[in-house]
Amino acid sequence: MDESVLIVGAGSGLSASLAKLCFSKGMKVVLAARNIEKLEDLKKEVKAETYKCDSSDIESVKNLFKETDKTIGTPNLVIYNPSTRLKGSITELDPKKTQEAINVTCFGAFLVAQEASKRMLKRKSGSIFFTGATAGIKGFANSSVFAMGKFGLRGLAQSLARELHPQNIHIGHFVIDGAIGKKPFGDYQTIHPDSIAKTYLEFYNQDKSAWSWEVELRTSVEKF
């Protein structure tokens, strides 16, 4: 059976590059997002299945995997991309919006990993990848909400690697240390999404005798 990838939080940036690269390697692509209408062009290009999913909602994530059970079975690779940025002073941040942001960035990753793990453990193989950020390894002023979500995401990935690597489930956490883009952003050099996608796939193909759980990506020349 052909290998398959489920990309949660699909969009036009890194997710699109991942979908196109996986498709080019013969993988069946499944895309999940809150707004699947925006995925129509990508869906046609990579012949993907698309599913509406709020990754921060327990039942929505359960339903996503019930649907993929019918179409592709257990994915070989699951990639979690969603995150929500909410900037502001600690004295001014809205607690409700803060909770919602953390739910998307971190709790949703737990929900997706839980459903994926249940299935992969039965099959005794699989890979689960998480898209992290610089905010997951160091905090910045007025960015406490993003840091909480990304620190939690990194902790989740590290813990799952210790738990699941011995059971043949490969966990990957990718620290994107910079802005993703195809062109420079002002004075900043961006990281091309196609290049990031290649790293994900190289990570996916690591030999089991030398599995990593984390990789950090950044431009060769920084001005920040």
Residue 222 lies in a domain: no
Share of the chain above pLDDT 70, in %: 97
What CATH number did the domain enclosing 139 receive? 3.40.50.720
Domain total of the chain:
1
Cα distance from N-terminal residue to C-terminal residue, the chain: 46
Asked if pLDDT for residue 8 goes beyond 60, the answer is yes
Residue 168 lies in a domain: yes
Q: Note the pLDDT tens digit of each residue in 35-70.
A: 999 999 999 999 999 999 999 999 999 999 999 999
Q: Could you tell me the CA-to-CA distances from 134 to 60, 149, 173 in Å, in that order?
A: 29, 12, 12
pTM of the model: 0.94
Q: Note the pLDDT tens digit of each residue in 166-222.
A: 999 999 999 998 888 887 777 778 899 999 999 999 999 999 999 999 999 998 766
Q: What is the mean pLDDT of the chain?
A: 94
Task: Give me the domain span that covers residue 43.
Answer: 4-217
Cβ distance 223 to 187 under 8 Å? yes
69, 150, 40, 145: which is closest to 105 by C-alpha? Answer: 150
8, 3, 4: which is closest to 131 by C-alpha? Answer: 8
Residue 172 lies in a domain: yes
* Burial (CB count <10 Å: 0-12, 13-18, 19+), residue 81: buried
Residue 100 lies in a domain: yes
